[in-house]
Chains A and B, each alone.
Chain A
Amino acid sequence: DIQMTQSPSTLSASVGDRVTITCRASQSISSWLAWYQQKPGKAPKLLIYKASSLESGVPSRFSGSGSGTEFTLTISSLQPDDFATYYCQQYNSYPLFTFGPGTKVDIK
């Protein structure tokens, strides 16, 4: 089974900061990685798919990169609406999915 890890688990940042979250896979998953944003009490929202493709309607301050086993989600200038928990998801073994443990972005 493919295991996913994320770092950091919690990130404190200020509005306007550049934020980077890292996701690692236990084996190569090519570019079959997605990123989701989840706010308290809400369903996850797809931000990025295939490692770097921006989902329609998602602000361009979000970007993704990486391939193989290491991936990053970058928010170029953190906005008040971006304080949330972010999850990566591998689908190299589609239709079997594995999620990372999440990274909470909170206010410094």
Chain B
Amino acid sequence: EVQLVESGGGLVQPGGSLRLSCAASGFTFSSYEMNWVRQAPGKGLEWVSYISSSGSTIYYADSVKGRFTISRDNAKNSLYLQMNSLRAEDTAVYYCARAVAGIGTDYWGQGTLVTVSS
């Protein structure tokens, strides 16, 4: 069974940093592209970042470019999102999601809440 479990969310002050993790199981993690998608309270879904299976290709949404860094450790079956210079508008539930070309994002974790507030 495919499982994605996010962790690392919490309350952080504006300008602060946080590192999210996503632990994958039930599939060959190193063969799949991965994404982070977020959802502000009461709002819709916003794609945040993508990383290829090897980690060699990375993309970011304009809203987080230069502040967030996506990475992965295929030996540990883990995906990460380093978030720096956090702003109030980054407050959201952050989901990791598996991507498959031709299908979209087929499996999602349960999400982790990040709250940016003083």
Contacts and interface: CB of A to CB of B under 8 A. Distances in A.
A102 B44 contact: yes
- A-side interface size class: 20 to 34
B50 interface: yes
Contacts of A99: 44-47
Please classify the interface of chain B as helix (H, G, I), strand (E, B), loop, or mixed, using the class held by over half of its residues.
strand
A34 B104 contact: yes
A37 to B, nearest CB: 11
Interface stretch (A11-19, A42-50, A63-71, A75-83): A42-50
The dominant DSSP class at the A interface is: loop
A101 B95 contact: no
A34 B101 CA distance: 12
Interface string B38-73: 000000111100101000010100000000000000
A52 B87 CA distance: 39
Contacts of B110: 42-43
Interface string B87-100: 00000000100010
A72 B103 CA distance: 17
B111 A43 contact: yes
Contacts of B82: none
Given A43-B95, A43-B111, A97 B106 contact: no
A46 B52 CA distance: 21
Contact of A96 (B45, B59, B102, B106): B59
A46 B104 contact: yes
Contacts of A50: 102-103
B29 interface: no
B104 A91 contact: yes
Contact of B45 (A45, A49, A87, A95): A87
Nearest to A53: B103
A102 B107 CA distance: 19
Interface of B: 33, 35, 37, 44-47, 50, 52, 57, 59, 95, 99, 101-111
3 cross-chain pairs, A with B, having the tightest CB-CB distances, nearest first: A34-B104, A43-B108, A99-B45
